[in-house]
Structure 1
Amino acid sequence: MPETRTGNIRGMKARVMFCVTSMVLGAAVLSGCTDDEKLAADAELARSQASKAAFDAKVSAAARAKANEAGDVPVLMYHRVVEKPSVPDDRTVEQFRAELERLATEGYVPVTAAEYVTGRINIPAGRHPVVLTLDDSSPSQLTLTANGEPDPKSAAGILREVASRHPGFRPVATYYVIRDLFQLHGGSEQRQALAWLANNGFEVGNHTKDHLDLSGKSQDEVTKQIAAGHSLITGLGAPAPITLALPYGNTPSKQQWAAKGSTGATSYSYSGVFRAGYTPAPSPFAARFDPLAIPRVRAGDNRGDCARFCSQGWLDHLKQNPADRYTSDGAPDTIAVPQFKAEEVNAKFRTKVLTYKPV
């Protein structure tokens, strides 16, 4: 009995396919179909037409947005945000605010490092992702006031203030912390700080416990430092880190040691490892994306070497060369690129690629 039922179903499918084909060629041929088969054929054709219309709409939307989801993403690296900088890596409150203002007005939307490396870049069409990273957990980056909110002059406070004036500019960033957690020495205060970050959409990433240069160190030394930073974060109740920023941007003798390891009761496995580089980072969908060696751009103005290698210089370049940067199509289920850039997408994502002809 089951075999007969299966045969009947197959026969119906075959006749429905004949009807669908006939409808494309001409409705008159449908005379050989039953009423049920005609209804099934009508439904199949309607679904096909709706699917094609939806696809065409996505292509049109990608073209209007000039989408390029294989383009470059600026991953910006900040340290202290202070009134009077004492080292080149410091930024003043005014400089930090001005750079955020520029990002907002030029169509950038902050995403966390974890969202970037895992490809969860869900931003509006025509917008560009930017990753804001803050190293070393300085109190200038996050100081909570008596009411539990960030100091307005801290990096977190400034970011939230700028976002409040620019709808769509997400107030999120990735904090790469070390043992001197915002110079808070009590476990309760440290827990509160990390909980505030996690509860407000920020990512807490690992920067090792002691901020030692890992280049030239043994595998055991590298693993112990990274694992200690990992357990520092999870021991204070924060989610397990998804990304790591290498101290001084220096890679261990083997890249894999930074991404995955275990010592004692602690093990870690990271989706992305960030260095201190001099260029924007590739799209996570690009064939040239290396999750174990992601470059970051140092925050800086247009003086000296910074004119070419720091944040202001690279933002100038991407503004002048918009085809180089990642531009979203607004649809998180597709990877939209101009037709001539299709080969730049990693082969493992090819089934999600949507191409369009630039106008």
Structure 2
Amino acid sequence: MRLSASLTRIIGIANVAVVTVAVIGLSLMPPGNVPHAKPKDVAKVEGSAAPPTTTPVGQPPGVVSTPGFARQVHANEAGLVPVLMYHRILAKRIASIDRTPGQLRKELEKLAGQGYVPITAREFATGDIRVPAGKFPVVLTFDDGHPSHFALDAGGNPAPDTAVGVIQEVARKFPSFRPVATFWINREPFGMRDRESQAAAVRWLVDHGYEVANHTWNHPNLRALKRKKVSEQIVRVERLLKKLGVPPSRTMALPYGSLPRTKKAARAGAWDGTRYDFAGVFLAGAEPSLSPYAKKFDRGAIQRIQSNGKKGECRKWCSQYWLEWLHKHPGERYVSDGDPDRISIPETLRGNIVAKRGLQVIAY
């Protein structure tokens, strides 16, 4: 999608609006609801309800794309991908960026019905997109590791009306809807204060195909910090994840969508002898992301879309607007060829992409 200079300026303003709303919303949170608050009573998570999976959850068997096959499924792997941004999932919304379980369920069912298949932020940023032919990737992302995102009930299953509970429910209703998402956490994942509960929680998520990754230690505005402090905020979460048994993060989400003054510090750096190097850094943006194969794709500033309706500042910049827009403009949307080893595109878009990881390009 080529944007005019005026539209680019408008989108820039919209990004600022989205970030501002997030800052205001978070500042108005009651103390018990801030991302790094210490709840008084948090039940321990007792461990996995199922053994670790041996293959990526829900990924389809591979096919071999050809020009004829790519044309048949209308493959366009240079198209736009919605990366949806969620915060708290509450029965009663407090801030404008909150969503209710019902709103989340409705949005996910709409995605499933339209042929979207979730992938993680890590899979997206690294270009490891394994979606059935003719389907569309979507990235579900949840910021702050809030208690409303994940908890297990007495039977060892995701609690109803948590983010994971809703995702699993929708996947049962729509078998083609892959139950995965990315959770970017701070220092107390999912409101859990003790390491045993934290480790059990992230182990369940990772074992079931979810991604748990870095959202900084205590959610500061990175633009207000010096480079060394930026790196410290990131490294402290990486060390926590290592203690919890999670591999090093390949992605991170910027608190408030705010890049540090030295942009590269968010993507790679070191503190106190520990290094980090992310494949993707995600904004709190206002438009779909370019394909990770696009020449103009900036993995240091990946766009996201706030999940919300079309009121106020969301009139043209949040999920309801953009999902409707993509549905009306199918030629702009990323359509998978079902072949993770090839990039299939219409011939007219050949000049818009660059092959990552040596993948073969199929143009038709």
Answer yes or no: same fold by TM over 0.5.
yes
Distance 1:351 1:81 in 2: 38
| 2:150–2:159 contact (8 Å) kept in structure 1 | yes
Max Rg structure? 1
Distance 2:318 2:273 in 1: 40
Once the two structures are superposed, the pairs formed by residues 223-234 of structure 1 within 5 Å of their partners are 223-234=231-242
| 1:215–1:251 contact (8 Å) kept in structure 2 | yes
What corresponds to 2:160 in structure 1?
152
What corresponds to 1:138 in structure 2?
146
Secondary structure of 2:247's match?
A: coil
Higher percent of residues as helix: 1
State the percentage of identical aligned residues.
44
1:73 aligned onto 2:81: yes
What corresponds to 2:132 in structure 1?
124
| 2:127–2:356 contact (8 Å) kept in structure 1 | no
Give the one of 179, 202, 207 matched to 1:199. Answer: 207
Give the one of 314, 330, 337 matched to 1:306. Answer: 314
| 1:209–1:232 contact (8 Å) kept in structure 2 | no
Give the one of 250, 256, 276 matched to 1:268. Answer: 276
Letter in 2 for 1:152: P
State the Cα RMSD in Å: 1.5
How far apart are residue 249 of structure 1 and its match? 0.4
1:97 aligned onto 2:105: yes
Once the two structures are superposed, the pairs formed by residues 208-227 of structure 1 within 5 Å of their partners are 208-227=216-235
The 1:128/1:148 distance shift into structure 2, 3 A limit, reads same
| 2:231–2:270 contact (8 Å) kept in structure 1 | yes
How far apart are residue 266 of structure 1 and its match? 2.0
What corresponds to 2:32 in structure 1?
none
Secondary structure of 1:273's match?
A: strand
Distance 1:107 1:347 in 2: 25
Once the two structures are superposed, the pairs formed by residues 317-356 of structure 1 within 5 Å of their partners are 317-346=325-354, 352-356=360-364
What corresponds to 2:198 in structure 1?
190
Give the one of 276, 286, 291 matched to 2:299. Answer: 291
How far apart are residue 304 of structure 1 and its match? 2.2
Structure 1, gaps ≥5 residues long: 1-53
Distance 2:246 2:356 in 1: 32
1:238 aligned onto 2:238: no
Distance 1:210 1:160 in 2: 29
After superposition, give the CA deviation of every residue in 1:233-260 in whole Å (9 maximum; x if it has no partner).
1122222111010100000112211111
Pick 1 or 2: higher relative contact order, CA cutoff 8 A, min separation 6: 2
| 2:289–2:304 contact (8 Å) kept in structure 1 | yes
Distance 2:357 2:187 in 1: 38
Distance 1:201 1:348 in 2: 23
Give the one of 171, 174, 187 matched to 2:179. Answer: 171
| 1:285–1:349 contact (8 Å) kept in structure 2 | no
1:87 aligned onto 2:95: yes
Alignment size in residue pairs: 302
After superposition, give the CA deviation of every residue in 1:288-322 in whole Å (9 maximum; x if it has no partner).
10110001110001222212100010000000001
Distance 1:79 1:321 in 2: 28
Distance 1:323 1:164 in 2: 30
The 1:185/1:120 distance shift into structure 2, 3 A limit, reads same
The runs of 4+ residues in structure 1 deviating greater than 2 Å are: 347-351
Distance 2:358 2:226 in 1: 39
